[in-house]
Amino acid sequence: MNIHHKLKEKGLKITPQRLVVMEAIFQLNNHPSAENIIEYVKEKFPNISVATVYKVLDIFVEKGILKKVKTDKDVMRYEGYLERHHHLFCDETHQIKDFHNKELDAIIQNYFSKYKIKDFEIKDFQLNINGVFKAS
């Protein structure tokens, strides 16, 4: 269940570059952009090429090891948390936070099991929640 196994399982070679990209994703842990990841990775691996990072991210997404997070900016963001979950988007700071809630998932799931969408087979869903973060 660790990265090594995951790469093996997907038929990908285990390389230090791939490992450090995964580490970056989990350490940064806030839906980082490629740029964020490159910055992190360069600390430990100053000679890594940006192209390598992009290629690693691409292949990880293709193999289902990472997911892209859609935003309304032209910079792609990534995450390694693959379970179903939703996102809180701050209108002001553009921060993104995860929101998990089994109960809500079940409610929506249940709704779709009763009311099928014509000519469409649902594979997955996520709720985008827009608003503003308030100080606690």
Taking CB under 7 A as the criterion, the residue among 43, 74, 92, 103 binding DNA is 74
Residue 79, beta-bridge partner list: 67
The answer to whether the CB of 31 falls within 8 A of the CB of 69 is yes
Taking CB under 5 A as the criterion, the residue among 22, 79, 80, 89 binding Zn ion is 79
The answer to whether the CB of 85 falls within 8 A of the CB of 126 is yes
Place of tokens 């000519």: 119
Site residues for Zn ion, window 6-65 (CB under 5 A)?
none
CA distances from 54 to 45, 102, 112, 135 (A): 15, 33, 36, 35
Phi, psi of 86 (to 5 degrees): -120, 175
When CB distances are held under 5 to 8 angstroms depending on the partner's kind, the choice from Zn ion, DNA, a second copy, none that residue 55 binds is DNA
By rule CB under 8 A, what string of x and - marks binding of each residue 28-67 to a second copy?
Answer: ----------------------------------------
Of 20 and 25, the one with the shorter C-beta distance to a second copy is 25
The answer to whether the CB of 27 falls within 8 A of the CB of 21 is no
In whole angstroms, the minimum distance from the beta carbon of 79 to DNA comes to 14
The answer to whether the CB of 62 falls within 8 A of the CB of 35 is no
Residues in contact with DNA by CB under 7 A are 7, 12-18, 33-35, 45, 47-52, 54-56, 58-59, 74-76
Residues in contact with a second copy by CB under 8 A are 68, 70-72, 74, 76, 88, 91, 97, 99, 101, 103-104, 107-108, 111, 115, 117-136
